[in-house]
Chains A and B, each alone.
Chain A
């Protein structure tokens, strides 16, 4: 089952912090993160790649972005 984290509208550093915690808890698998700020998108992509997670970015119809992180 894919876990989903909705980090839309949250201030720095919460989107990155919550994603990092979720990835550490998950260990392996797939995590979908919803964000709506470019800063959160960049920070999460960077920290996920550095921890060897594959990052796929999907633009959503409402202007937000879904990051699919998998390992």
Chain B
């Protein structure tokens, strides 16, 4: 066991994790997931928000089993190596807000950093603007960190705190499997409480068992190797450390090769799956998301894995992402494959303002 742990925390850990994600994500697409959406933390939490009725965009509603698998993979990794430590107290409310606005930003591009790399590896050149936006957002976040930005320290919490998120994930799994319905309205539409898309991206998914197993494998590896799609760029700029970036490069290369083999590499800007071609919003949305992720300490995947380690503050970020996706769709802020919506620009401006205020105002309280 310790040999595995040593390997995964060595320089090869993120590279192996990136390679495995790079292979599994396109395979999940082949098995039914939407195009270039083998793994996407924001798209998947958006689908979960829809399935729970937090928004009524009928084409993006599904309890994505990958999220449940990713979480439990990280939990198993943490428990097996003595790293499950319930903790909280580092500005959870602010982290909730950051999760909310990270979702707003990423849904302007239609993908989190994981999907940005996957879209690039699938030939969707719109992702180039998103990745440039991500780098810019991370750069702004680093500026705040250098100015002394901090959400303060977390503290050990009672064991029960650490088991709240596992209970939430078990509840999601039960809801996925049972999909309870209270009835239908006069038009014959389901009245919930759980909604699953009958058409559109929400209706496209790999078989549940395969999605969960893939999630478990990725979650375990990512927890052990500290894989982070935002930390990879941040650490190169801030610390001159390419440890995590090597993992992202492996991720892109292996996803590209797997897409080629599976016939899923389609280079171009137009007619890309679940994507639009508005470069300004692809860039701007990821500036907002990149800033929010950096201020929270890691990418959405990392937040999910940390919540699997018992970090209740990271769990607040994840819950914020789900709620943010609900708001974003309900308020016509999220982009669609046709481009930005009526309130996309307003959402971007408000999100950036909130994150900048957080960046300027949050400092560690001196004892």
A residues at B contact (CB < 8 Å): 8-14, 16-17, 20, 36, 38-39, 42-43, 46-47, 50, 63
Least Cβ–Cβ distance between B295 and chain A, in angstroms: 9
CA distance A63 to B84 in the complex (A): 12
A1 CB, nearest partner CB in chain B, Å? 21
Whether B154 lies near A9 (C-beta < 8 A) is yes
A47 touches B150 (CB 8 A): no
B302 to A, closest residue via Cβ: A12
In this complex, what residue of A is CB-closest to B241?
A47
Once the chains are docked, how many angstroms separate the CA of A26 from the CA of B234? 24
Contacts of A46 on B, CB cut-off 8 Å? 241, 243
CB contacts (< 8 Å) of B89 on chain A: these are 9
Residue B226 at the chain A interface, CB threshold 8 Å: yes
Task: Chain A residues near B199: list those with CB within 8 A.
Answer: none
Q: Is the CB of B153 within 8 A of A10?
A: yes
Knowing A39-B226, A42-B9, A42-B226 touch, does A12 contact B239 (C-beta < 8 A)? no
In the complex, what's the smallest C-beta–C-beta distance from A15 to chain B, in angstroms? 11
Chain A residues whose CB sits within 8 angstroms of the CB of B87 once the complex forms: 9
Cβ of B292 to closest chain A Cβ, rounded Å: 13
A13 touches which of B83, B90, B154, B238 (Cβ 8 Å): B238
Q: How many residues of chain B have a CB within 8 Å of chain A?
A: 26
- Chain B residues near A20: list those with CB within 8 A: 239
Is the Cβ of A13 less than 8 Å from the Cβ of B155? Answer: no
Kindly state the separation between the CA atoms of A10 and B365 in the bound complex, as whole angstroms: 12
Taking CB atoms, residues of chain A closer than 8 Å to B152 are 9
Cβ contacts under 8 Å, B9 to chain A: 38, 42
Interface majority SS (helix, strand, loop, mixed), chain A:
helix
Tell me if B65 counts as interface (CB < 8 A to partner A).
no
Q: Are B231 and A13 in contact (CB under 8 A)?
A: yes
Listed from nearest, the 9 A-B pairs whose CB atoms lie closest are A9-B153, A11-B297, A12-B297, A9-B154, A39-B226, A42-B9, A38-B83, A16-B239, A12-B298
Would you call B49 an interface residue if the criterion is a C-beta within 8 Å of the partner chain's C-beta atoms? no
Q: How far is the CA of A12 from the CA of B284 in the complex (A)?
A: 24
Task: Identify which of residues 57-95 in chain B touch chain A, using a CB-to-CB cut-off of 8 Å.
Answer: 83, 85, 87, 89-90
* B297 and chain A: residue at smallest CB distance: A11
CB pair A11 B239 closer than 8 Å: no
What are 30 A-B pairs at a CB distance below 8 A? A9-B87, A9-B89, A9-B90, A9-B152, A10-B150, A10-B153, A11-B90, A11-B150, A11-B151, A11-B154, A11-B298, A12-B297, A14-B145, A14-B150, A16-B239, A16-B241, A17-B145, A17-B238, A17-B239, A20-B239, A38-B83, A39-B226, A42-B9, A42-B226, A43-B235, A43-B239, A46-B241, A47-B239, A50-B241, A63-B156
Q: Given A9-B153, A9-B155, A17-B239, 19 other A-B contacts at CB below 8 A?
A: A8-B153, A9-B152, A9-B154, A10-B150, A10-B153, A11-B90, A11-B296, A11-B297, A13-B145, A13-B231, A13-B297, A16-B235, A17-B238, A20-B239, A38-B83, A43-B235, A43-B241, A63-B85, A63-B156
